[in-house]
Structure 1
């Protein structure tokens, strides 16, 4: 598995170790590294400049290409291509064991798993695997302190039911559209329940994928050229151009420096995405309560203008999660998240659980609100209320 590792610009010996996970599934974490919260950004002439808001200012940060087959991670055995997040979690745990064996000086640092989008599936699965490894004394103990999911897909039943509500509230659809979309929800929900039944056929999960994504696709069709990653924007065809990233990483000199041989970098790979379709509608919220009860804190954050993994669906699953602190969290007041005296979002927190709706942001929050996102993650890791 290929990864980038950057020491903290502050204090590598004491700052936490963060693993940042990108979604897709099948999209390289180089996207986050060079377009969001990494230490560098790529210029038009393919040189690198410092990112003043890189998260390496407050952490030692790892960007790992996973599942196997993503980015520069590769395999010669098709059996290594994963079909669910539990399988990816096996590889992730092995990777972290190898990392801390190679870099034992970081093994005692606080450890956080953070990511975005489809990482809403990965992160709970990975954290569950780390927790089990620690409990069973399988290898090097990992000092896991918290998880943060940004604009993620974690609890599909609640989140897919929220699509039409969000779209109507943001005036992307009208009431007639809303009523029509409502007729698709029961089949989606039934499919998710069948997918969640371990004794049911695996084909049920694939069918649920198509039934549920039909809700999202119909909203996208209604909105026309609205960018579903940021509904403030319009686009036709591809909404984002990542050609600079591809051009930079595919330079022979860069590939040699990275030790990846003749592997050609591709931003997002269908060869990883397609096998993961049966995993899409599985509910990974179910493992989070046990993590909270074991003292692992959770931050869920989402941009107000993201349709893809909208804040409303994320807020609803966080509220609905059953754990010992649920009642206190649900009744907790929402308060402004301020950065340099300006309101940058709305947050709710109780105990180990925090939710943040980020203002003026779409799907990729560190790209849209770099200063606010750095302040968010710094305060949260340091235990300072947002």
Structure 2
């Protein structure tokens, strides 16, 4: 097995836009000039640096004899492991912890890496949850070790149990995708997908083989989750699984719902709300907002052109619309666009460097069986490969799923700028489905944790929207207890219950 390599954080695409790319401070005394257009590599590098990640390579493409074994399309190879090597720690037999590779059948040599953690409570009937980190091109190990996985990384690189890991409520998969991300690797760059069709087909094929290898979980409820750029991945995969089930193709996956945290899903609506969110949170003045709003019509036209023509027009839409974000950030200074309560120190907004240190240790590599393949925390090559995918609207896949009873949860931390709650709320309310009017008229209720309001919730039928108090882009990192309660209660059909 092998680790991929670059480094990014799980914050997705918007992160890239937002970095501190705009170099000229805009005020109402000056008319807007076009902000500098940075290359995708420059944007990706800024994103990686903001998380203090230093990947050795830009993508996990191996050469020579570094592959784990002979490539057999459709083959899944998995092993049990334990990160705890001392005699007092739990044994491999005590832990349902697995790591594996799946050889993608449509590829020349691509292997997708994953972790699978069985329920910590040893509840074999617990739902199976898959988590997808954004970027695009960031490893799901970012979430595993800093958000909702079983462990947290201590300063000395030892691991401690996460009291609010989602394995307490589910059996959970963390997948490194698209290919080239994290420990997933290939020997041929053509294996890297460029759109959600490729991404969702790869994940669907993986899930088919995973459940074939773990038949005792086939009957369990299945949920798809993720954040940031997973606002694309999650609905695309949910649609792919649902259509596979309806077409009676392969194993029927017991899909019950999907959840997106601070995601980019419908750019045409979400971009319109950046200036309002910024003004509401005193990042810009009213005059700044009026000036920035002059950029919105061109952005809207560019997105419509992307939707109708595709191709390079979608890259152009990205460059056009990012001026909205860049101008706001040039005014607001060194604000942390993932959590506006915080400031960034130079290029550094978070320090996730221990992740790379841990996963490149020989003892960890040996435990996982990944050989000498490097870990790529975030890949700028994968990032670039998805350039024409970013401005696509993936809300369009959701109404059919709602009508067929698939539960949908959109949640967002209140202090995230880059995929803010306001833009997410707007597209959820604007989505056309049979319950649209009832959802819009639904009463906003408190989401309560330990007797205290932890968020504001709107629900109707299978659709829920939750604004989470005291959280930025990474809700499970900022509000871990609330995030675990949210997941557990939602999966059990009672999101507004006051305890797990």
| Bucket of the pairwise TM-score, normalised by the shorter protein | over 0.9
What is the match of residue 64 of structure 1? 175
C-alpha displacement of 1:84 = 1.1
Alignment of 1:172-321 (within 5 A): 172-197=283-308, 200-235=309-344, 236-321=346-431
Within a 5 Å distance, the mapping from 1:1-386 to structure 2 comes to 1-197=112-308, 200-235=309-344, 236-386=346-496
Q: Is the Cα contact below 8 Å between 2:486 and 2:495 reproduced in 1?
A: no
In 2, Cα distance between the equivalents of 1:280 and 1:218? 20
The secondary structure found in structure 2 opposite 1:349 is: strand
Q: Secondary structure at the match of 1:226?
A: coil
Higher helix share: 1
| Offset, 1:300 | 0.4
Larger Rg computed on CA atoms: 2
Specify the SS of the correspondent of 1:127: helix
Distance in 2 of aligned mates of 1:379 and 1:238: 35
Distance, in Å, in 1 between the alignment partners of 2:315 and 2:369 is: 37
Work out the CA distance in 1 between the residues paired with 2:129 and 2:397: 20
Q: Deviations over 1:7-45 (max 9, x none)?
A: 001243210000001000000000000000101011111
Tell me, in whole angstroms, the C-alpha distance in 2 between the residues paired with 1:382 and 1:143. Answer: 15
CA 1:83–1:5 in structure 2 vs 1: closer, same or farther (change >3 Å)? same
Give unmatched runs, 5+ long, in structure 1: none
Give the whole-Å Cα distance in 2 for the aligned partners of 1:164 and 1:332.
26
**Post-superposition CA distance 1:269-302 (Å, at most 9, x none):** 1011011111000000001000111110100000
4+ aligned runs moved over 6 Å, structure 1? none
Distance in 2, matches of 1:70 and 1:92, equals 14
Q: Distance in 1 between matches of 2:420 and 2:306?
A: 23
CA distance in 2, matches of 1:385, 1:112: 15
Question: What TM-score results when the alignment is normalised by the length of structure 2?
Answer: 0.76
**Cα distance in 2 between the residues matched to 1:339 and 1:286:** 33
For the aligned residues, what is the CA RMSD? 0.9
How far apart, CA to CA, are the structure 2 residues paired with 1:39 and 1:218? 39
TM-score relative to the length of structure 1: 0.98
